[in-house]
Amino acid sequence: MIHKIHNKLKPWYVVLLLLILWWMASKARVWNSYLLPPPEKVFATFLSMLRSGEIQKSTAVSLRRVLTGFSLSFVLAFIGGLIAAYAPGFAGYFRYLGNFFRNVPPLALISLLILWFGLGELPKLIIIVLASFFPMLMNIASGFVRCDKGLLEVGQSLGLSGIKQFFRIRLPSSRLDILTGIRIGLGYAWRALIGAEMFAAASGLGYTIVFAQQMSRSDKVFIGIFLIGIIGSVTDAVLQKAIDRLGRPSGKAPEVPEESACEAYRDSEPEGLRESEPEGLRDSEPEAHRDTAFFSSADAKRGTLRPRVWAVKSPKTDEAGCGSSHDSIVLENVSKRFAIPGQELEVLRDLNLTLPLDGITVVLGKSGCGKTTLLRMIAGLDRDYSGTIRFPGDKKCAVAFQESRLMPWLNVRGNIVFGLRKSEIREERVRRLLSLTGLTGFEKAKPYQLSGGMQQRTAIARALAVAPDYLLMDEPFAALDYFTRIAMQRSLLDIRRQTGCGVLFITHNIEEALMLGDQILVLGQKTVRKRYILTDPDKVAGGESRSLSELKEDILLHI
């Protein structure tokens, strides 16, 4: 307690010391009282000016000028920031002109401004604008330009228009840069105004200081300086507090470790889901149907989801799809190239593919084979390709990225309903999504307070909130530890069973592919090398039944 009080009083120790030294110097007559009036005289003059209204009048005039000029400057800087973010080519025309005026002190122009516009308010407003414009412009433009592209892609995948993406993503993510620019710009505005009032004004704090100096009233000069410093310090402190509040994590909930995340899911899992696995997944499953290469018997005792037992139909390699085009995603002759320095890299070539909108389709392949590129093209996030991709017009898709890409300024509930209009938000559905993803009780937690698995479940809940017919998932569990990954795989299967939503799942993990997939597409050499249709053994009709070990070995041969 004493330590906290000491830290709060630290800045006042120096102020008190200076006041004591000032009082001692005036008593010892180190300087003439004309040059250095004693503190008590300055305080008495302050009370006199306060009673007469002189202080209120001068302060009001200067505040009005600062707020008027600063507001105009902020509007111009905000527009400039928008141009820098959305029209960088146009902004390039003003680069040299901007650098020129940024390095010219605004007070150097005061003589010309008085000659051109007289001694009215306009020269002072121009000085304030020139002084505060560039610091704000640089910070606002930096915030807009540096906005996380991943968050913008989230908005695009959820169907937000460009204007909504600006107000709901780019603007909130730039709030610290904007406030910092305001803080710096306001300080420059005060300094420039006082300088302008000393040369070209008949009222205001700057004029009060100059007039007091001409009347040999050093006590009034001190009062004018104190008022400027106090007003500037108060406004700066308010802005700094706002910056600290927005930049510092809020809330008292501790970060949930990964192990707790798994437990949280299991504890909050709806009763109806706990025994909803197919018969082949329960402990009564014959020993011969289990593949210990995936999970140990200890996992089974804990109730961890075990891989399903499948038979495999292996159609011809070029038959990369099934189902009618009316209820499927169809890719025709799709090719994709990336331009890199010195060459052009072809990732996909004349890909023809039909993806049914039911079940879980897993795309498996080595890193760099084009898995994520394929997903981004289907999601509409990458349109720079040749060929045709047709998505049923009455169907809706959503994306769960490899990173959770949560909005850091929103809590769990805010992130889940992020893609919805206010009129579309239904609390009952939100509660159901929280329960389905094991996040009940964490509605008000911020992303930094969640474990990696809980962040991913929040991202999945956000995607499901828009009621998609198809969910595109780009290695969403790749960065998770073993136990959290198991919980997330189980969570995905539960979600699939309850919502009926189709899934395209990208992974480079064969075990995960066999765990989740209804069909597996092996991507490599710029096309789909092989397709595996997985079904329950009792549904096999003419297909070749294989054990998981044999299937895994066959997949390894084709990756």
Please state the pTM of the whole predicted model: 0.76
Residue 273's pLDDT is: 35
Same domain, 184 and 91: yes
Same domain, 475 and 434: no
Same domain, 242 and 130: yes
Residue environment code for 33-58, b if the CB has 16+ CB neighbours within 10 A, otherwise e: eeebbbeeebeebbeebeeeeebeeb
The answer to whether position 551 is within a domain reads: yes
Which residue, of 204, 219, 247, is where some domain finishes? 247
Same domain, 319 and 211: no
Element (H, E) at 521: strand 519-524
Which residues contact residue 126 at a Cβ distance below 8 angstroms, ignoring those fewer than 6 apart? Answer: 69, 106, 109, 113, 117
Look up residue 558 and give its two tokens.
Answer: 């084709």
The arrangement of strands across the sheet holding 343-356 comes to: 343-356, 328-340, 386-390
Same domain, 384 and 438: no
Regarding beta strands 502-507 and 470-474, do their DSSP bridges make them parallel or antiparallel, or are they unpaired? parallel
What does 388-450 look like in DSSP terms, one character per residue? EEE--TT--EEEE-SS----TTS-HHHHHTTTS-GGG--HHHHHHHHHHTT-TT-TT--GGGS
Residue 476 has pLDDT above 70, yes or no: yes
Residue 545's pLDDT is: 54
Same domain, 437 and 484: no
The answer to whether position 264 is within a domain reads: no
The answer to whether position 99 is within a domain reads: yes
pLDDT tens digits for 363-396? 998 888 889 999 999 999 999 999 999 988 778 8
Same domain, 129 and 213: yes
pLDDT tens digits for 128-187? 999 999 999 999 999 999 999 999 999 999 989 999 999 999 999 999 999 999 989 988
Look up residue 110 and give its two tokens.
Answer: 């005061």
Following CA atoms 496, 501, 505, 510 in sequence, which dihedral angle do they give, to the nearest 10 degrees? 30
- Give me the number of domains the chain comprises: 4
Per-residue pLDDT, averaged over 67-90, amounts to 93
Same domain, 461 and 491: no
- Residue 334 is classified by DSSP as E
Per-residue pLDDT, averaged over 22-31, amounts to 82
What CA–CA distance (Å, rounded) separates 236 from 308? 62
pLDDT tens digits for 102-111? 888 888 888 8
Please state the φ and ψ torsions of residue 349, each to the nearest 5 degrees: -135, 120
Least confident of 51-55, 153-157, 242-246, 278-282: 278-282
Which residues contact residue 466 at a Cβ distance below 8 angstroms, ignoring those fewer than 6 apart? Answer: 158, 159, 396, 398, 419, 420
The answer to whether position 502 is within a domain reads: yes
Report the length, in residues, of the chain.
Answer: 559
Residue 515's pLDDT is: 86
Same domain, 309 and 362: yes
The answer to whether position 402 is within a domain reads: no
Provide the domain limits for residue 452. Answer: 407-467
pLDDT band at 401; cut points 50, 70, 90:
very high
The answer to whether position 168 is within a domain reads: no
- Residue 94 is classified by DSSP as G
Least confident of 117-126, 374-383, 465-474: 117-126
What CA–CA distance (Å, rounded) separates 283 from 301? 9
Contact 425, 183 (CB under 8 A): no
What CA–CA distance (Å, rounded) separates 280 from 300? 13
